[in-house]
Copies of this chain bind each other. A is one copy, B any other.
Amino acid sequence: MEYSLMLLVPAASFLALLFAGYLAAKVKSHDEGTPDMVAIAEAIREGARAYLKRQYTGVAIFFAVVLAIMVVLVVLEYIVVFVPLAFVTGGAFSALAGYIGMSIATASGARTANAAKSSLDAALQLAFSSGAVMGLAVVGLGLLDLSVWFYFLNWFYRDADLSTRITGIASTMLNFGLGASSVALFARVGGGIFTKAADVGADLVGKLEAGIPEDDPRNPAVIADNVGDNVGDVAGMGADLYESYVSSIVATSALAPAAGLSMEGIMAPMIVAAIGVLASVIGTFFVRSPKEAGQAGLSKALRKGVWTSSLLVALITFPLLTHLMPEHSTGVGIAVLSGLLGGVLIGTFTEWYTSPQYRWTRHLAETASTGPAPVLIQGLAVGFMSVAPIATVVAVVILVAFLASGGAGNYNLGLFGVGFAAVGMLSTLGITLATDAYGPVADNAGGIAEMTNQDPVVRERTDALDTLGNTTAATGKGFAIGSAALTAITLIAAYKEQVAILARKAGVSVDVTFSLLEPRVLVGVLLGSVLPFVFSAYIMQAVATSAQEIVVEVRRQFREIKGLMEGRAKPDYARCVDICTRVALKEMVTPTLVVVTVPVIVGLILNVQGVAGLLTGAVASGFMLAIAMSSAGGAWDNAKKHIEGGHHGGRGSGSHRAAVIGDTVGDPFKDTAGPSLNILIKLISMVSVVFAPFIIVNHLL
């Protein structure tokens, strides 16, 4: 057994965390700028900290409830004591990843704006370093959690026979996705509602009613909007991808025993992930000041870093796998490659549908001249259309990974390969997340520049960074969705394995064929397909409701605070932050309860067959809906930007008004509902896995 290679995992974890610490120190060594810049940055930081504190309190309550249930299940001997422990560590690390991301992002906004005074390159370096801190913290913490548990469990089971040890390690580790998923759900949904309530509310009154520009300091919701970028787009995304990362690894490991692999099968996903971390660290050095001017140059700078990392992973994976699992190295290697390549293709297609450089978004901008209704119809059509190529890429990745890793002969080995495709896609997360997380920093920098009346060239530079950030955000979203779908499928396979193992242990006979036409499975599929629709309906409503409250508050301040519009008085920013915090936390209760209880209720009635159907239906419709929402939202946003760039009448024209309506509808699509669906499809799998021991002996049909 090649335990020595496993040392790569903690090593990569430490390296990532150390390097993140070094970058964070470097970022903080820069000047935050003029006193008013510092003041605004401090206000944003304060708001973000206040929100996260209250969010984490809410999460803690949720964790306490779930822990209590778990303790009962432990006492009743349905689950082992490690499950609640793994649940807590997973949750804690995910929360920490989000917190670190938020801290560095709020520390970088003003610094990036200040750096933009000297040059575009300086600003890019700062914003990207800040993104890299978060990216590396996420993967570093992920591998840390994984390696601690692996070594502990390996020691704990030291006297057991190999088979018991392998199953014990795999099953226990699988459980800790639940903690990470739960935190991710709160972060994505809560943070997403916060950011969009503030954004939509600020825009509805500020831009549309009062006619003042975006990020105008007179708008009382402007600080809340900037806080939102940090708690939703940064902390939310960090927690989300932490969860994807860890889940894809543990789900793949969990399939190793069934695939006939021994300890090397459990370690392999972690080791490949470790390679990805090393490659990401190296990749960050390739993000260099753009020689060419403009978007193309910036975009190239980031892409160079990502591609270098991907290439490194591809090059190192094969020899490493040959050493680790000689029999399966080629197959699994191809699976990793297919995942890596799939991620790139998904990003490319997302860009094709959402970037104003291509025909879809251009045509959408053109449609705006005939009014809002055609913009909305056409934008939905673009989103719906984009589902086809992206889902096809994932379908092909699944088939290639399955067949290459030997699925035709050994079915479970094939599924193990599919899991590896997800691991491969996420292996370079350290750097891809960095390019993604840099966007909100640039966005905040722009806001701070605007609020402190900097020289127009500063705003120009931050705008250039921000526009690129929109594209990386869109590709990042595609990537998050694609990997979520692959991970979810791996989790369904892992669920099936767990059920088989548990049934053997409990001495019950459970049919795990999960035939499509078994009515319980079929009904499960139907109910599963419902979930994403209901879930996004709740979230969209929550955004609409909470934006409403902000609208009322902003109108009130405009009316009641004398001299506000003339710039003689300051608005009450804190009040808007408070409202957003309150509504975001309130509105996230129902969707969370739905996600956590539905798999259990379906299981209690329809047994594991119903649950397997539920998971499949939810992945199928949730994946499509998430893509459709993200793409439509991105296309609307960029069509608006395209018009603002002077096309079809430019700012203030009828086209622009129509496009702004499209963008406002797209906001909750792409930044709240869409990304939350990624977590939905994984969290319900996690809940199902944890409650499986209870369900297989307690069910109606």
A392 interface neighbour in B374, B527, B668, Cβ under 8 Å: B527
Q: CB distance A668 to B377 under 8 Å?
A: yes
> What residues of chain B lie closer than 8 Å to A398, measured between beta carbons?
519, 522-523, 526
Expressed in whole angstroms, the minimum distance between the Cβ of A295 and any Cβ of chain B is: 28
Can you list, as one digit per residue, whether each of A500-536 has a CB less than 8 Å from chain B (1) or not (0)? Answer: 0000000000000111111111110111111001101
- By beta carbon, the residue of chain B nearest A380 is B540
User: How distant is the Cα of A485 from the Cα of B701 in the complex, in angstroms?
Assistant: 23
> What residues of chain B lie closer than 8 Å to A624, measured between beta carbons?
529-530, 533, 621
- By beta carbon, the residue of chain B nearest A520 is B399
List A residues 17-70 near B (Cβ within 8 Å).
Answer: none
Question: Beyond A377-B665, A544-B378, is A414–B515 a contact (Cβ under 8 Å)?
Answer: no
A391 interface neighbour in B485, B526, B619, Cβ under 8 Å: B526
User: How distant is the Cα of A528 from the Cα of B551 in the complex, in angstroms?
Assistant: 41
> What residues of chain B lie closer than 8 Å to A492, measured between beta carbons?
516-517
Expressed in whole angstroms, the minimum distance between the Cβ of A401 and any Cβ of chain B is: 9
Expressed in whole angstroms, the minimum distance between the Cβ of A258 and any Cβ of chain B is: 11
Q: CB distance A395 to B534 under 8 Å?
A: no
> What residues of chain B lie closer than 8 Å to A544, measured between beta carbons?
367, 374, 377-378, 381
Interface 9-residue window, one of A130-138, A145-153, A610-618: A610-618
> What residues of chain B lie closer than 8 Å to A265, measured between beta carbons?
none
- By beta carbon, the residue of chain B nearest A537 is B384
- By beta carbon, the residue of chain B nearest A536 is B384
A628 within 8 A of B: yes
Q: CB distance A516 to B526 under 8 Å?
A: no
Expressed in whole angstroms, the minimum distance between the Cβ of A541 and any Cβ of chain B is: 4
Can you list, as one digit per residue, whether each of A389-416 has a CB less than 8 Å from chain B (1) or not (0)? Answer: 0011011001100110001000100110
Q: How many copies does the complex hold?
A: 2
Q: CB distance A526 to B623 under 8 Å?
A: yes
Q: CB distance A372 to B374 under 8 Å?
A: no
User: How distant is the Cα of A49 from the Cα of B664 in the complex, in angstroms?
Assistant: 43
Question: Beyond A540-B377, A616-B522, is A493–B514 a contact (Cβ under 8 Å)?
Answer: no
Chain A contact surface mostly: helix
> What residues of chain B lie closer than 8 Å to A200, measured between beta carbons?
373
User: How distant is the Cα of A530 from the Cα of B541 in the complex, in angstroms?
Assistant: 25
User: How distant is the Cα of A526 from the Cα of B523 in the complex, in angstroms?
Assistant: 17
User: How distant is the Cα of A519 from the Cα of B377 in the complex, in angstroms?
Assistant: 35
Tally of contact residues, A, Cβ under 8 A: 82
> What residues of chain B lie closer than 8 Å to A538, measured between beta carbons?
381, 385
Q: CB distance B372 to A530 under 8 Å?
A: no
- By beta carbon, the residue of chain B nearest A606 is B399
A653 within 8 A of B: no
> What residues of chain B lie closer than 8 Å to A407, measured between beta carbons?
519
> What residues of chain B lie closer than 8 Å to A274, measured between beta carbons?
none
Question: Beyond A394-B526, A527-B392, A540-B377, is A533–B668 a contact (Cβ under 8 Å)?
Answer: no
List A residues 580-630 near B (Cβ within 8 Å).
Answer: 612-613, 616-617, 619-621, 623-624, 628
Q: CB distance B402 to A519 under 8 Å?
A: yes
- By beta carbon, the residue of chain B nearest A662 is B373
User: How distant is the Cα of A621 from the Cα of B517 in the complex, in angstroms?
Assistant: 17
Question: Beyond A516-B612, A665-B376, is A523–B384 a contact (Cβ under 8 Å)?
Answer: no
A119 within 8 A of B: no
A543 within 8 A of B: yes
Question: Beyond A513-B515, A517-B492, A621-B624, is A387–B533 a contact (Cβ under 8 Å)?
Answer: yes
> What residues of chain B lie closer than 8 Å to A381, measured between beta carbons?
536-538, 540-541, 544
> What residues of chain B lie closer than 8 Å to A540, measured between beta carbons?
377-378, 380-381, 384
A313 within 8 A of B: no
List A residues 178-226 near B (Cβ within 8 Å).
Answer: 200, 204, 208
User: How distant is the Cα of A371 from the Cα of B619 in the complex, in angstroms?
Assistant: 34
A642 within 8 A of B: no
Expressed in whole angstroms, the minimum distance between the Cβ of A181 and any Cβ of chain B is: 21
User: How distant is the Cα of A373 from the Cα of B657 in the complex, in angstroms?
Assistant: 11
Question: Beyond A370-B204, A515-B515, is A529–B385 a contact (Cβ under 8 Å)?
Answer: no
> What residues of chain B lie closer than 8 Å to A537, measured between beta carbons?
380-385
A89 within 8 A of B: no
> What residues of chain B lie closer than 8 Å to A72, measured between beta carbons?
none
User: How distant is the Cα of A299 from the Cα of B10 in the complex, in angstroms?
Assistant: 71
> What residues of chain B lie closer than 8 Å to A418, measured between beta carbons?
519
- By beta carbon, the residue of chain B nearest A489 is B522
Q: CB distance B523 to A373 under 8 Å?
A: no
Most chain B beta-carbon contacts within 10 A, residue among A418, A522, A613: A522
User: How distant is the Cα of A275 from the Cα of B242 in the complex, in angstroms?
Assistant: 60
Q: CB distance A616 to B525 under 8 Å?
A: yes
Q: CB distance A621 to B384 under 8 Å?
A: no
> What residues of chain B lie closer than 8 Å to A623, measured between beta carbons?
526, 529
Question: Beyond A378-B541, A493-B517, is A372–B620 a contact (Cβ under 8 Å)?
Answer: no
A496 within 8 A of B: yes
A124 within 8 A of B: no
User: How distant is the Cα of A527 from the Cα of B624 in the complex, in angstroms?
Assistant: 10
A125 within 8 A of B: no
Most chain B beta-carbon contacts within 10 A, residue among A381, A541, A616: A381
A548 within 8 A of B: yes
> What residues of chain B lie closer than 8 Å to A377, measured between beta carbons?
540-541, 543-544, 665, 668
- By beta carbon, the residue of chain B nearest A613 is B516
A234 within 8 A of B: no
A162 within 8 A of B: no
List A residues 320-379 near B (Cβ within 8 Å).
Answer: 367, 370-374, 376-378
> What residues of chain B lie closer than 8 Å to A380, measured between beta carbons?
537, 540, 665
Most chain B beta-carbon contacts within 10 A, residue among A204, A528, A665: A665
- By beta carbon, the residue of chain B nearest A412 is B517
A388 within 8 A of B: yes
Q: CB distance A548 to B374 under 8 Å?
A: yes
Given contacts A373-B665, A516-B613, 8 further A-B contacts (CB under 8 A): A372-B372, A374-B544, A374-B548, A376-B376, A377-B543, A384-B533, A415-B519, A525-B525
What are 26 inter-chain pairs, A to B, with CB distance below 8 A? A374-B548, A376-B376, A381-B540, A381-B541, A384-B533, A384-B536, A385-B533, A385-B538, A387-B530, A387-B533, A394-B526, A398-B519, A398-B523, A399-B520, A403-B701, A515-B516, A516-B612, A516-B613, A522-B616, A526-B620, A528-B620, A529-B620, A620-B621, A621-B621, A621-B624, A661-B661
Q: Which 5 A-B pairs have the closest CB atoms?
A: A384-B537, A373-B664, A529-B620, A514-B516, A385-B537
